[in-house]
Structure 1
Amino acid sequence: MKKIAVLVAGLVAAVSVEPRLSLAADAAEPVKEIMEDTQKNWASDVNDWIDIFEESMLARLYSKDFGDKYKAAAQNPAADEDGISPFDYDVIVNGQDACPLQDLSIESGQPANNATEVTVKFKAATCMEGAPNKDDFTTVRFEVIEENGKSVIDDIMVHGEGGLGPTSLKEIMVLIARGQ
């Protein structure tokens, strides 16, 4: 019992001396929620699409800067015709079509420069017969920061086809807001 108390005291001391350690432990939480919703959206029996940028989610899971850029992009007249999103594609799967997500993994990196990179990999085209990329993994990097004492997503970086990218979603939103 004494060993456990010493271990717990050591962990508490480490987190208070190095607060970035707590960010590393919590960094995946907002990403996990986004990925759970994205999985539900692409499940074969989806009834209602979950908007991962809905107002309450923007306030709770994303940084203020990300939310401001999203809101500015959503004001652009070129926003998606459904009025829901400034994007005409799912920014996580990086496309308009996908299959139920397969082989999903989420891995948190080490904190650096006040951010933690959380890498998500999954297969999104496994049901597309004859597709050349059917078994390819999609990689999405989430930049997670601490804001007001909690971990929030500050940017989403998607790798394009053929190894292109990564592309910053915040940069894309700035361009959309400018009408480009």
Structure 2
Amino acid sequence: MKKIAVLFAGLVAALSALPGPSLAADATVPVEEIMKDTQKNWAGDDSDWIDIFGEAMLSRLYSHDFGDKYKAAVQNPAADEDGISPFDYDVIVNGQDACPLQDLSIDGGQAANGATEVTVKFKAATCMEGTPDKDALTTVRFEVIEEDGKAVIDDILIQGKEGQGPISLKEAMVQIAKGE
């Protein structure tokens, strides 16, 4: 019996060292950090706004391609007046206003085609009385890849208007950089 336990422990250790499936476990790490900061941003206290696309985060939590597209979009004269972001809304909550995020869940998917989709769900409008969909769940999908030996966010997919499919943030940044 002891031999079987030792063999089983060795098998588990060997399988956990294999590349590929490990990305699925690690893929949630950059997403969790972004969501932690987004939760702080909408917590309702007077803390400073955390720029989830600040230079330090951009180079650490996002892919090189995502970072390049973001930097190109920021250069567009149509970028937000504050010069900080090419977006005039919070891309995670998909709006300019939100409440403290409620019922947050982060689920890592299976790695496929070199990427892992991490799905985040939360309620962002629970404090907005009179809003018909105040208890609706917002879903954001993060495409996470392995780059330079670590999991990084390669794209963020937000829900489009009713009847539209998801909107790729990378595609939106390309359009912004072109002035569209």
Partner of 1:82: 82
| AA in 2 matched with 1:12 | A
Shift in CA distance, 174/11, structure 1 to aligned 2, threshold 3 Å: same
Whether 1:114 aligns to 2:114 is yes
Q: TM-score, normalised by structure 2?
A: 0.94
Cα distance, 1:16 vs structure 2: 4.2
Cα distance, 1:165 vs structure 2: 2.3
- Structure 2: distance between partners of 1:3 and 1:46: 57
- DSSP 3-state at the match of 2:162: helix
- Structure 2: distance between partners of 1:74 and 1:43: 27
- DSSP 3-state at the match of 2:87: coil
Whether 1:11 aligns to 2:21 is no
Q: Summarize the alignment of residues 17-96 of structure 1 with structure 2, pairs less than 5 Å apart.
A: 17=18, 19-96=19-96
RMSD between aligned alpha carbons?
A: 1.5
Partner of 1:156: 156
Q: Summarize the alignment of residues 129-148 of structure 1 with structure 2, pairs less than 5 Å apart.
A: 129-148=129-148
- DSSP 3-state at the match of 2:24: helix
- Structure 1: distance between partners of 2:8 and 2:44: 46
Indicate conservation of the 8 Å contact 1:43/1:99, yes or no. Answer: yes
Q: TM-score, normalised by structure 1?
A: 0.94
Partner of 2:98: 98
Cα distance, 1:162 vs structure 2: 2.7
- Structure 2: distance between partners of 1:126 and 1:83: 30
Gaps of 5+ in 1: none
- DSSP 3-state at the match of 2:110: coil
- Structure 1: distance between partners of 2:11 and 2:110: 20
Structure 1 runs of 4+ aligned residues shifted over 4 Å read 1-5
Gaps of 5+ in 2: none
